[in-house]
Amino acid sequence: MYRSLSIDPDKCTGCLQCEMACSYEYEGVFNPAHSRIKVFTFHQEGRFVPYTCTQCADAWCQHACPVDAIRVDAETGAKEIKENLCVGCKVCTIACPFGTVNYNHDRGKVLKCDLCGGDPACARACPTQAITYVDGDWAGYEKMRAWAARTDNATHA
Amino acid sequence: MRHVIVGRGPAGVVAAETLRAHDRASEVLLIGDEPGPAYSRMAIPYLLARQIREEGTWLRHDTTHFERQRVGQLETRVEALNAESKTLALANGTTLDYDRLLLATGSSPVDPPIEGVDLPRVHHCWTLEDAHHIMESAEAGSRVVLMGAGFIGCIIMEALKLRGVRLTVVEAGDRMVPRMMDQVAGNLIKQWCIDQGIEVCTSTRITRIEPGDEGLWLHCEPGEPMQADLVVVATGVRPNVGFLQESGVEIGNGIRVDAHQRSSVDDVYAAGDVCEGASWQGGRGVHAIQPMAVETARVAALNMVGREATHVGSLDMNVLDTLGLISVSYGQWMGVEGGDSASLLDERSGRYVKLRFDGDHLIGGITLGITEHVGALRGLIQSRRHLGVWKKHLMENPTRFMEAWVSTVP
Amino acid sequence: MGWQKKILRVNLTEGTCISEPLDMGWANEYLGQRGLATKYLVEEVDPKVDPLSPENKLIFATGPLTGTPASTGARYSVITKGALTGAIACSNSGGYFGAELKFAGWDMIIFEGCAEKPVYLYINDDQAELLPADDLWGKSVWETDEILHRVHQDPQLRISAIGRAGEKGVLYACIVNDLHRAAGRSGVGAVMGSKNLKAVAVRGTKGVRVADPERFLKVVAEKKQVLAENAVTGQGLPAYGTQVLMNVINELGALPTRNARDVQFEGASRISGEAMHEPRGSEQKPNLVTNQACFGCTIACGRISRIDKGHYTVVNRPEYWGASGGLEYENAWSLGADCGVEDLDALTWANFVCNEQGLDPISFGATLAAAMELYETGVITDEDTGGIALKFGSAEALTSMVQQVANGEGFGRELALGSRRLCEKYGHPELSMTVKGQEFPAYDPRGIQGMGLTYATSNRGACHLRSYTVSSEVLGIPEKTDPLVTDGKPALVKAFQDVTATVDASGLCLFSTFAWSLEDIQPQIDAACEGDWSLDRLLEMGERIWNLERQFNIAAGFTGKDDRLPKRLVSEPVKSGPAKGLVNQLDKMLPEYYQLRGWDEGGVPREETLERLGL
Amino acid sequence: MPVTFKLYASLMVYLPPEAKRHAVTLEVPEGTAPIQLLERYGVPLADVHLLLVNGVFLPPSQRHRPLEAGDTLAVWPAVAGG
């Protein structure tokens, strides 16, 4: 079983350390605009929800990619963008129903969470354990998988 | 058991892989009529723009991929299907038996019914071969006329522009990408293209192309004739079903399939651009788009190996990058009767968002200049999420769709 | 690096937005934010100008650590000549706006002149433009925030704006960013309003770089750990926020109550941080919904509160039912104890309105407290107040007056002048609890002697955030001193003042210093910024900033005579608590303080002092 | 002798049930010291940071000093504000 990111919004304070860590990991600059994890603020409810790719088993983004630029990392199970192959067509950005694959104008490529090769920077940077990297049998992850399945076009038996 | 797949586009390749993943034993054979490795038409514009080389268009980059998957490949054309005998007549004169057959033959460009479309230097932009022709003629400074500002026309446009050509786009419809964008968005894209130095003529038809001393002459209605060194025709496509004339397979606008991607004939399935299946919003249609091609292929393949899978209808979705202005459309962006609509327009910065609702469901939308988290629109539409209080929030500010999505995640 | 090395100069009169390089010579002397922007202001603005005239400038400034993962690196400051005080104003705010400005590629924005018609500044990375704000004028901060998000179709836009208070020239109007973080004091919002500048909306996608990323990340991780392991920053502040002080300061007999007539408030526990956790009202839910961090902050002391739906302030007003920025200690004190009001939800609502309309709750509450004393002593009457009984303890008076001030109506127009002008107008200047025209905050200097010197010498008028000696005198950070004695306080105040100036200049939050000393901060600055930023250099820089601010004020016409406390604090002994019988002994501290500062008897920096500091 | 015992913030959980808000009035033997009250109610000494007797700070070294009748002992964990 792969390990996965576990997110507990109740513990999030909205500090965005995760976004800085992610963007630094990705491009060597502190730049939340290019973070692959995003914290959404529900101001009226006083709620902060970090959100990123669930690395779904049957990945829409991967299937939709016309040039084979999204690959599964054998060790982490992460769906990774191969930047040398990505042509920037953005089909994956509309195919992913979670809205977690985004286009980076500066690079002309898409970006998504790749679990940092098995040591996610966001989880390391999170001061409140709202984001942790846990064994894959974490129930919440399965819940998100189930959620993913519900949005599926093709319901498998 | 022998699975035969006709067509080596994304649908054919994904189907072959899905078959193999769920059936280690059977023979899987992939037939295509173009030379070289399986490639993606979606990538051709990037080849034209010199952003990638030909390998960059390949659907699978590992040259031993199909071998390792034990997927056989055959380069030939299928001339006819005999469903009774479960055989295919091939262009090389032989026949091929199948146990289960997937038709993923895609579509081909349609020529407008005008004089001169068969002249040299008038090309489609559909195959790698077409791309090579275009690359030969479309050099810096050359005059290029692009016929058709639909989705395909528009994705080629940037590539041509990047090659430094003097580009004129002629579209018969009253706006750019009329099947994907409403009037507001289509006009914004048009203005954007004009600002980028492209001449755009909408509501204009090319009536005749004739050779001249210095290139081609294109006669327009309305307007003066224009001169071109190269004409690229992108006026639409239609499913490749010609070889099925006598087969008994029911054809509508494409091969008619049920929710399991089965055609009207036993053991014959269809997927991708060639099939006419259920639409997400009800009714039927041909959904010639990349994400639906691979999803229908997966469903078809699963059923072919005896795993029941259902395709609950194709949701239209498109993303287009016209010289840096990115537009997205989903589902029923044109709306339904009695449904609410919310939109925001900022002409100055080229931003636009429009959401369409049916009750408190999102059923479609358009964004222009907004790329962050657009996939969530698909999530909201496809999960038929009850928006509850978020309906009101989205009516007030439709850009908040990602929040609407995240807020309803458990 | 750390800096973006770029300034946006916005001339509101001309309607121009021009990029210019940051003066790195000055950056090396003043680091950033409070220090560097003060240098620009001093160089560019005649200290004698009318704060509300086009000749005054308004600077939004970040520090080199703003927008980096250095914990608490969220801060930006607004520097100008204060509308309330006429002294140098530097109001510091957290939230997300400062970091976003940095991500867009700017260290600071200098606004000059005055727009003919209302405008707002829209910044999208390099692109900066002034856009018409006619439709926004008259709108609250919250409405403005909502409209600009919609107009620019960008949920990620960060907005800093004035509300109606700033437009109407309330002299303690503030500038509010991210809905409820504020550059609060000295009337910086009134200056913004006088320039017809409604808002600044920023979106930045360029990011921030530091000089030595590897060293920086290592030291930042270490120092975050220090904050996490410290009981105050790791546990106390996230759980109770600054509001935990309400009971402490009350118990200590240093909680100014009813315009500082008393120093203990019988209702303190009902408006305390602990009370915010208790279920109450018709919903039986606590006032506190959650804590919130500012950008990059691993402490997360911010309060997010909700008003009980059955409370009189919000019945039939669902627009106030959602969660929003809750009470901090200062606000709970000013709106609560100082006005004698102990209705937690009424205070929360008044606080919401202060955020919504851009009012400094400290000055508003303290001004109302002064008015209440004027009312109770019969100096002002129902005729003046439009029939509203301004009695100490009246929640209704509080909640109706906050609206009147924000809307520029009725007696609110008088309260909008601030406590000093109000009391002078009614012939009782001694009832104004102000220094240099600014209302003092939530520590009575008779019970905490060092705070008397802090208030008296603060360059922006009475303020706790210029040398928070409460840390030492009450909380024992870094070490405990006796709050009731004056011995050692001048040195303590000077040391706190200088360190605070350095912390402010860096872009970090002062609250980090509950766990960090300058020794913890120095390596973070040193790794982020080019050059060698030694501890000595940083300390000297703090002193340089302090003296530069002092020089501005002297040039503006302030003298040592303005370093004084309200008469009540130095002449009326307190009636209860440990400090019973005491007054603040400012006169015992001030001469020693001047001497330690290298200033003459009149409080003017001596030549040799200025020379030593390179001024 | 009567003394008032107050616990605040995270220490409130150690107050006896009869306490109102933060405070309880207790009858204790003469000579009772703050440290004994803290121990009696199980307040973890490591968490005791700010200890005021009648509003006056009591340094850790003096926690053994007996209280007097009518004294108020107020105790906080490490806190700060601003």
Q: Confirm if C196 and C117 have CB atoms less than 8 A apart.
A: yes
CA distance C159 to chain B (A): 16
Residues B251-295: tens digit of each pLDDT: 999 999 999 999 999 999 999 999 999 999 899 999 999 999 999
Q: What is the structure's pLDDT at A153?
A: 42
> In the CATH scheme, what architecture does the domain C470-613 have?
Orthogonal Bundle (1.10)
Q: What is the structure's pLDDT at B138?
A: 86
Between β-strands D23-27 and A70-72, what pairing exists: parallel, antiparallel or unpaired? unpaired
User: Torsions phi, psi of C345, nearest 5?
Assistant: -70, -35
| CA B111 – CA B117 distance, rounded (Å) | 7
Q: What is the structure's pLDDT at C329?
A: 97
Q: What is the mean pLDDT of residues C200-207?
A: 97
Q: What is the structure's pLDDT at C570?
A: 98
Residues C131-154: tens digit of each pLDDT: 999 999 999 999 999 999 999 999
Q: What is the DSSP letter of A43?
A: G
CB contact under 8 A, B402 and A102: no
| Residues of chain C contacting A44 with CB distance shorter than 8 Å | 322-324
Q: What is the mean pLDDT of residues B163-170?
A: 93
Whether the per-residue pLDDT at A155 is higher than 60: the answer is: no
CB contact under 8 A, B397 and C151: no
In C417-469, which residue ranges form alpha helices assigned H by DSSP? 419-425, 449-457
Whether a cis peptide bond, with omega within 30° of 0, leads into C118 is: no
Q: What is the structure's pLDDT at C102?
A: 98
Residues B227-258: tens digit of each pLDDT: 999 999 999 999 999 999 989 999 999 999 99
Planar angle of CA C251, C255, C261, nearest 5 degrees: 120
DSSP conformation letters of C293-330: --TT-SS--EEEE---TTSTTTTT-GGGSS-EE---HH
Domain boundary among B233, B248, B273: B233
Q: Confirm if B182 and B366 have CB atoms less than 8 A apart.
A: yes
Element (H, E) at C134: none
Tokens of C488: 């050692």
| CA B178 – CA B158 distance, rounded (Å) | 18
Average pLDDT, chain B: 93
Q: Which of D8, D49, D52 sits opposite C274 (nearest CB)?
A: D8
User: Torsions phi, psi of C357, nearest 5?
Assistant: -110, 0
What's the CA dihedral at A49, A55, A57, A60 to 10 degrees?
Answer: 90
User: Torsions phi, psi of C119, nearest 5?
Assistant: -135, 165
Q: What is the structure's pLDDT at B381?
A: 94
Whether the per-residue pLDDT at A144 is higher than 70: the answer is: no
CB contact under 8 A, C155 and B369: no
Residues C54-100: tens digit of each pLDDT: 999 999 999 999 999 999 999 999 999 999 999 999 999 999 999 99
Whether a cis peptide bond, with omega within 30° of 0, leads into C478 is: yes
B311 is a domain residue = no
User: Torsions phi, psi of C247, nearest 5?
Assistant: -70, -35
B148 is a domain residue = yes
Average pLDDT, chain C: 97
Q: Which of A48-52, B153-157, C97-101 has the lowest mean pLDDT?
A: B153-157
Percent of chain B residues topping a pLDDT of 70: 100
| CA C38 – CA D11 distance, rounded (Å) | 44
Q: What is the DSSP letter of C491?
A: H
CB contact under 8 A, C206 and A31: yes
Q: Which of B157-166, B371-380, C62-71, C543-552 has the lowest mean pLDDT?
A: B157-166
Whether the per-residue pLDDT at A150 is higher than 70: the answer is: no
| Mutation to test the A interface, candidates B18, B40, B289, most A Cβ within 10 Å | B40
CA distance B372 to chain A (A): 6
Instruction: Please tell me the CATH code under which domain A3-150 is placed.
Output: 3.30.70.20
In C18-112, which residue ranges form alpha helices assigned H by DSSP? 24-30, 33-44, 97-103
Q: What is the structure's pLDDT at C152?
A: 96
CB contact under 8 A, B383 and A85: no
**Within 10 Å of residue B225's Cβ, how many Cβ atoms?**
15
Report CA-CA distances (Å) from C540 to B130, C433, C522, C529, D70: 71, 32, 13, 17, 49
Q: What is the mean pLDDT of residues B389-402?
A: 96
Residue B147 sits in the same domain as residue B225: yes
CB contact under 8 A, A33 and C228: no
Q: Which of C247, C252, C465 sits opposite D22 (nearest CB)?
A: C247
Q: Confirm if B346 and B384 have CB atoms less than 8 A apart.
A: no
- What single-letter amino acid sits at B55? E
Residue B103 sits in the same domain as residue B7: yes
CB half-sphere exposure, C581, CA atoms < 13 A? 1
Complex confidence, ipTM: 0.94
**Within 10 Å of residue C498's Cβ, how many Cβ atoms?**
23
| CA B263 – CA B240 distance, rounded (Å) | 15
Domain boundary among B257, B273, B304: B304
Q: Hey, where are the domains in chain A?
A: 3-150
CB contact under 8 A, B311 and A153: yes
The three-state secondary structure class of C608 is helix
| CA B349 – CA B368 distance, rounded (Å) | 10
Q: Which of C67, C103, C293 sits opposite A15 (nearest CB)?
A: C293
Range of the domain at B388: 324-407
Instruction: Please tell me the CATH code under which domain C6-203 is placed.
Output: 3.60.9.10
CB contacts < 8 A, B to C, total: 27
Q: Residue B348's closest chain C neighbor by CA?
A: C152
Which domains are assigned to chain D?
2-77 (3.10.20.30)
Tokens of C181: 């973080």
- What single-letter amino acid sits at C423? C
Planar angle of CA D29, D35, D39, nearest 5 degrees: 90
Residue B260 sits in the same domain as residue B197: no
Per-window interface: C 122-151 vs B, CB < 8 A = 146, 149-151
Q: What is the structure's pLDDT at A152?
A: 46
Label each residue of C243-260 as H, E or C: HHHHHHHHHCCCCCECCC
Tokens of B183: 């009037």
Instruction: Name the band, by pLDDT with cuts 50, 70 and 90, for residue D80.
Output: confident
Residues C517-533: tens digit of each pLDDT: 999 999 999 999 999 99
Tokens of A112: 């998504």
Burial class (CB in 10 A: 0-12, 13-18, 19+), B34: middle
Q: Which of A38, A40, A151 sits opposite B379 (nearest CB)?
A: A151
The three-state secondary structure class of B188 is helix
C278 CB contacts (<8 Å, ≥6 apart)? Answer: C286, C287
Residues C213-238: tens digit of each pLDDT: 999 999 999 999 999 999 999 999 99
Q: Residue C547's closest CA among C115, C45, C88, C74?
A: C88
CA distance A91 to chain C (A): 22
Report CA-CA distances (Å) from D29 to A33, D2, D73: 65, 9, 15
How many Å separate Cα C190 from the centre of its chain?
A: 14
| CA B5 – CA D79 distance, rounded (Å) | 71
Whether the per-residue pLDDT at B139 is higher than 90: the answer is: no
Q: Residue A52's closest CA among A7, A3, A103?
A: A7
Average pLDDT, chain A: 88
The three-state secondary structure class of A3 is strand
Between β-strands B166-170 and B199-201, what pairing exists: parallel, antiparallel or unpaired? parallel
CATH pick for C257-432 out of 3.40.1550.10, 1.10.8.60, 3.10.290.10, 1.10.569.10:
1.10.569.10
CB contact under 8 A, C153 and B346: yes
Whether the per-residue pLDDT at A143 is higher than 90: the answer is: no
CB contact under 8 A, C251 and D55: yes
| Residues of chain C contacting D53 with CB distance shorter than 8 Å | none
User: Torsions phi, psi of B240, nearest 5?
Assistant: -85, 90
Percent of chain C residues topping a pLDDT of 70: 100
Q: What is the structure's pLDDT at C498?
A: 98
Tokens of A104: 């980076």
Residues C322-341: tens digit of each pLDDT: 999 999 999 999 999 999 99
Place of tokens 């919003």: B281
Residues C477-490: tens digit of each pLDDT: 889 999 999 999 99
| CA B151 – CA C247 distance, rounded (Å) | 67
| CA B5 – CA B38 distance, rounded (Å) | 13
Residues C446-476: tens digit of each pLDDT: 999 999 999 999 999 999 999 999 999 999 9
Q: What is the mean pLDDT of residues C379-392?
A: 97
CB contact under 8 A, A21 and C69: yes
Beta strand ranges found along C98-222 (DSSP E) = 108-112, 119-124, 127-132, 158-161, 175-177, 181-183, 197-203
| Mutation to test the B interface, candidates A48, A58, A94, most B Cβ within 10 Å | A94
| CA C134 – CA C148 distance, rounded (Å) | 13
- Kindly list the partner chains of chain C, i.e. chains with 3 or more CB atom pairs below 8 Å: A, B, D
pTM: 0.95
CB contact under 8 A, B397 and C149: yes
Output the furthest CA–CA distance in chain B (Å, rounded).
Answer: 68
Percent of chain C residues topping a pLDDT of 90: 99
Q: Hey, where are the domains in chain C?
A: 6-203, 257-432, 470-613
A25 CB contacts (<8 Å, ≥6 apart)? Answer: A116, A121
Q: Which of D22, D74, D82 sits opposite C274 (nearest CB)?
A: D22
Q: What is the structure's pLDDT at A157?
A: 30
CATH number for position B142: 3.50.50.60
Q: Confirm if B400 and A41 have CB atoms less than 8 A apart.
A: no
Helices (runs of H) and strands (runs of E) counted in chain A: 5, 9
